[in-house]
Amino acid sequence: MSDAEDERAGDSPGADGDGESLQALRERVEAEYDFENFGPADMAEMSADEWEAAFDPDTWITGEELLDRVEADLRSRVADRDVFARVERHGDPPRVLAYSESSYALVYPDGSVEGEGTVLRDVKPTVALASMESYDVPDAPEGQLLPEPGEVPEGGGELGNTVLQVIAVAQGIAGLVLLGAGVLNYGTTGSNAVGMAVAGLAFLAVAIVLLMVIVNARLSDKFRAEEYRERLRAVGLEDGERPDFLPPLEADDGSGPNDGEREA
């Protein structure tokens, strides 16, 4: 857009309430938002005028190319564990479907998105960025992105738990030695025996606290792993079924929902 057109846009209803020109508004938006790390929070902060200035409809990518870019970006984000969703590509009519156990987003070639919940919130910024020529879409990873429920380990951080366990055992042994020495020498060394006994009790208290931390961490890891398995089962990774709340995905010609489908 030329400077003259920008000046006319500033006098038109398309300018913001303060009469700011379109070019000035674009410059302010580019300075205020980091479009390399653009996310749902940034989208929520944008006003309608800022949105129109940042994303020029005349330069948007649409059609199958947009769906290719959206699918690749979503697959990359799922692989990086930024988004929890199952990603499918449908060919008749062309759409990209992303869904979790309780939410979904359906992307159409014109860039429109329908859905609900957290997946919709995560997908909207992806569609906006993928429609921009300046945005470099990451390479889409191959294969299934989410693990099978049975492949999820009980939890991580075993090295840290092992180190804490060794420290706790050492503290416990030292506490028992000091406590025993204090009891055995109570009648001969007086205050030294009392000091050793108190130190022994302190070491034992530290050991007990560390053991409680280890037990709590392992229980938390086990709970999180089981919760993740349940989420994977809910999106159909075990039985291949989709959640009931998803919209109908049948093709226009009456064929089944698996026609033209690519799944991640």
pLDDT, tens only, 120-140:
999 988 898 888 887 888 887
Could you give the C-alpha distances from 129 to 1, 7, 67, 180, in angstroms and in order? 21, 27, 12, 68
Mean pLDDT of the chain: 76
> What's the total number of domains in the chain?
3
Structure tokens at 187: 């009648």
In a domain, 259, yes or no: no
Q: Does one domain contain both 172 and 116?
A: no
Residue 222: CB atoms within 10 A of its CB come to: 12
pTM to 2 decimals?
0.60
Q: Do residues 55 and 131 lie in contact, with contact meaning Cβ atoms separated by under 8 Å?
A: yes
Is the pLDDT confidence value at 151 over 80? no
Is the pLDDT confidence value at 79 over 70? yes
Q: Which residues pair with 49 in a beta bridge?
A: none
- In the predicted model, what is the mean pLDDT of residues 181-191? 68
Q: Which of 114, 105, 133, 139 is nearest to 35 (CA)?
A: 133
Is the pLDDT confidence value at 164 over 50? yes
Q: Does one domain contain both 71 and 47?
A: no
For residue 168, the model assigns a pLDDT of: 85
Give the C-alpha separation, 138 to 126, whole Å. 12
For residue 252, the model assigns a pLDDT of: 42
In a domain, 191, yes or no: yes
Domain that holds residue 44: 3-54
Give the C-alpha separation, 103 to 118, whole Å. 6
Give the C-alpha separation, 241 to 236, whole Å. 5
For residue 31, the model assigns a pLDDT of: 82
Mean pLDDT comparison of 42-46, 120-124, 134-138, 167-171, highest-scoring range: 120-124
Give the C-alpha separation, 181 to 193, whole Å. 7
For residue 73, the model assigns a pLDDT of: 92
Q: Does one domain contain both 197 and 134?
A: no
Structure tokens at 68: 């290719």
In a domain, 203, yes or no: yes
Give the C-alpha separation, 16 to 192, whole Å. 80
In a domain, 75, yes or no: yes
Is the pLDDT confidence value at 45 over 60? yes
Of 120, 146, 172, which residue constitutes the final position of a domain? 146
Of 116, 146, 176, which residue constitutes the final position of a domain? 146
Helix (H) or strand (E) holding 119: helix 117-130
Q: Do residues 123 and 113 lie in contact, with contact meaning Cβ atoms separated by under 8 Å?
A: yes
- In the predicted model, what is the mean pLDDT of residues 241-256? 63
Contacts with 104 (C-beta within 8 Å, 6 or more apart), sequence order:
97, 98, 115, 116, 117, 119, 120, 243, 245, 246, 247
For residue 59, the model assigns a pLDDT of: 65
Is the pLDDT confidence value at 44 over 80? no
For residue 95, the model assigns a pLDDT of: 92
Q: Does one domain contain both 64 and 49?
A: no
- In the predicted model, what is the mean pLDDT of residues 213-222? 80
Q: Does one domain contain both 39 and 9?
A: yes
For residue 258, the model assigns a pLDDT of: 38
Q: Does one domain contain both 129 and 90?
A: yes
Is the pLDDT confidence value at 201 over 80? yes
More confident site: 22 or 107: 107
For residue 176, the model assigns a pLDDT of: 87
